[in-house]
């Protein structure tokens, strides 16, 4: 099988690593890839949303399957663009991708299908005054979400009512451009979050991937600014059989049923961002792709051929293909540039990768220069993943590897997984 993987981050490195191990694989291409993905396939300089260029590439190279790593091409209609063209796409149709592309749509979908989520209302510039009244009816903190994609920055959690009103007005006035022309205001939920990934074939078939937890803030103890993700752990001790049975019956099955009933084609990953509210799973958000950096941990715990599963999902039938999970613990710890998530330097040489053994340094923001030098090219640079018998055991390996990899100003959180260790048996 010839596969085109779209994206360039740590998630795509981990997907490429896993796909490259499949006996079904004839050739993997990654568009555009990064300084490390060429270990697993061939990087091609095409943007994931440049559908005409992708179509030419697919035709010229006989691609059988396109896998979208990130949401942008899916929300822009990748699936629909290629439907009926012969190439299979692992991902939802544009209508399905609205589960991530529009928070208002996602909330309406959950409400219509009885899926547990925070109480909410949506507002536009015309209903600003009603938005103020709704805020007054809620208890702090206030959760304001831009309806559309906002590069992970569209959610504000605000303690003061006055600040929340001010932010609502600013959002509706274009703080996130068109993405915040509609704003979802919802009740604040308190609990520990986790990420559940489901691969569905759109015909009732689905598999649940290993559950993970990510660490979003830049600072230890979950302090400071939000980032794209500083690390992840899988499995998540509290996501036990009882919790997952609730997730399955109250969230996964109603989601799949709701999609079918709405006539929405969905053949790919559904990412449930969940929060555990006193043992009850509630949906914080849907995403229509795998998580980053969760994927960099989750891939290490999949013992089956993921390419076979993704291709079967894209073909509309998972059949009886198995998705086996390793009982081991996987962690990933992100090495980031100095200054991230604010401004940071790029082009700094990265050394020491060849000294790493026992961990996988998945490249994220790296680039191979024309002279062969590997340099930093993003805020999140390398996600160091390890398997172990426990969180502590896996972490020790990642931190050892991190001590060997050098670039000026490197920073990692030292407390990844610490909150979960107490829950481990
Ligand atoms: P989202 O982009 O919807 O995932 O929101 C980003 C982050 O904001 C989530 O991962 C949560 O940590 C937090 N968040 C979003 N909605 C809520 C909520 N209703 N209650 C508490 N925290 C929330
Ligand atoms: N780690 C959260 C996300 O990928 O959206």
- Indicate which atom in ligand 2 lies nearest the CA of residue 293: 1
Angle at 410 between CA 407 and CA 411, to 5 degrees: 165
Of 167-176, 228-237, 275-284, give the lowest mean pLDDT range: 167-176
Residue 287 CB–ligand 2 contact under 6 Å = yes
Mean pLDDT, residues 21-50: 98
- Identify which of 7, 291, 416 to mutate to test ligand 2's pocket (most ligand atoms within 8 A of the CB): 291
Is the predicted pLDDT of residue 226 greater than 90, yes or no?
no
Using CA positions, which residue lies closest to atom 18 of ligand 1?
A: 188
- 386-403 mean pLDDT: 98
- Please compute the mean of the pLDDT values over residues 155-179 and round it to a whole number: 93
How many angstroms does the Cα of residue 105 sit away from the middle of ligand 2?
19
Mean pLDDT for the stretch of residues 47-51: 98
Give residue for tokens 């990934």: 197
Q: Please, where are the H alpha helices in 124-279?
A: 128-137, 161-170, 241-247, 253-261
Detail the DSSP E strand segments found in 125-222.
142-146, 155-158, 182-186, 192-200, 206-208, 213-219
Indicate the DSSP class of residue 212. B
Answer yes or no: is pLDDT of 423 > 90. no
| Cα distance between residue 145 and residue 95, in whole Å | 20
In ligand 2, the atom with minimum distance to the C-alpha of 229 is 1
What's this model's pTM, rounded to 2 decimal places? 0.96
pLDDT tens string 358-368: 999 999 999 99
Asked if pLDDT for residue 151 goes beyond 90, the answer is: no
Percent over 90 (pLDDT), the chain: 96
Closest among 241, 254, 259, 323 to 282, alpha carbons compared: 254
pLDDT at 303: 98
Statement: residue 236 has pLDDT above 80: yes
Q: Pick from 152, 233, 286 the residue to mutate for probing ligand 2's pocket: most ligand atoms within 8 Å of its CB.
A: 152
Tens digit of pLDDT for each residue in 62-83?
A: 999 999 999 999 999 999 999 9
Nearest C-alpha to atom 3 of ligand 2 is from which residue?
291
Ligand found nearest the CA of 102: 1
Q: Is 292 in the pocket of ligand 2 (CB under 6 A)?
A: yes
* Ligand 2 pocket: which of 196, 285, 287, 364 to mutate (most atoms within 8 A of CB): 287
Structure tokens at 382: 């390398």
Q: What value does the mean pLDDT of the chain take?
A: 96
Ligand whose nearest atom lies closest to the CA of 287: 2
CB of 71 closer than 6 A to ligand 2? no
Is pLDDT above 80 for 179? yes
Binding site membership of 149 for ligand 1 (Cβ less than 6 Å): no
Predicted confidence at residue 19, as pLDDT, reads 98
Alpha carbon distance 243, 183 (integer Å): 31
Report pLDDT for 333.
98
The pLDDT assigned to 235 comes to 98
> What pLDDT score does 152 carry?
75
**Quick one: what percent of the chain has pLDDT higher than 70?**
100
Residue 273 CB–ligand 1 contact under 6 Å: yes
pLDDT tens digits for range 286-341: 999 999 999 999 999 999 999 999 999 999 999 999 999 999 999 999 999 999 99
């Amino acid at each position: 099988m010839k596969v085109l993987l779209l994206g360039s981050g740590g998630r795509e490195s981990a997907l490429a690593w896993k796909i490259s191990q499949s006996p079904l694989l004839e050739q993997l291409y990654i568009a555009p890839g990064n300084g490390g993905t060429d270990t697993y396939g061939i990087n091609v300089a095409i943007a994931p949303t440049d559908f005409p260029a992708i179509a030419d590439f697919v035709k010229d190279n006989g691609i059988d399957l396109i896998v979208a790593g990130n949401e942008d091409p899916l929300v822009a209609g990748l699936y629909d663009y290629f439907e009926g063209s012969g190439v299979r796409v692992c991902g939802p149709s544009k209508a399905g991708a609205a589960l991530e592309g529009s928070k208002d749509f996602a909330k309406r979908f959950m409400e219509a299908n009885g899926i547990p989520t925070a109480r909410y209302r949506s507002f536009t510039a015309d209903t600003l005054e009603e938005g103020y009244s709704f805020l007054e009816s809620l208890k702090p903190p206030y959760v304001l979400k831009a309806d559309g994609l906002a590069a992970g920055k569209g959610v504000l959690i605000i303690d003061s009512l006055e600040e929340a009103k001010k932010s609502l007005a600013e959002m509706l006035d274009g703080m996130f451009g068109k993405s915040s022309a509609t704003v979802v205001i919802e009740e604040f939920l308190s609990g520990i979050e986790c990420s559940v990934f489901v691969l569905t074939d759109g015909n009732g078939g689905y598999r649940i991937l290993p559950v993970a937890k990510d660490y979003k803030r830049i600072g230890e103890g979950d302090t400071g600014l939000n980032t794209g993700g500083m690390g992840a752990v899988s499995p998540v001790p509290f996501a036990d059989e009882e919790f997952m049975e609730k997730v399955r019956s109250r969230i996964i099955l109603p989601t799949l049923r709701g999609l079918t009933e709405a006539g929405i084609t969905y053949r790919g990953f559904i990412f449930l961002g969940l929060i555990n509210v006193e043992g009850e799973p509630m949906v914080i958000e849907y995403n229509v792709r795998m998580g980053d950096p969760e994927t960099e941990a989750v891939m290490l715990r999949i013992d089956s051929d993921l390419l076979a599963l993704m291709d079967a999902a894209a073909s509309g039938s998972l059949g009886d293909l198995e998705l086996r999970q390793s009982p081991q613990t996987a962690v990933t710890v992100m090495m980031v540039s100095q200054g991230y998530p604010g401004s940071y330097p790029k082009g700094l040489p990265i050394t020491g990768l060849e000294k790493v053994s026992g961990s996988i340094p998945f490249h994220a923001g790296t680039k191979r220069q024309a002279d062969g030098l590997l340099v930093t090219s993003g805020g999140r640079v390398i996600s160091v993943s390890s398997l172990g018998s426990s969180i502590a055991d896996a972490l020790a390996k990642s931190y050892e590897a991190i001590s060997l990899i050098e670039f000026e100003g490197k920073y990692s959180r030292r407390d990844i997984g610490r909150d979960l260790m107490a829950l481990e048996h």
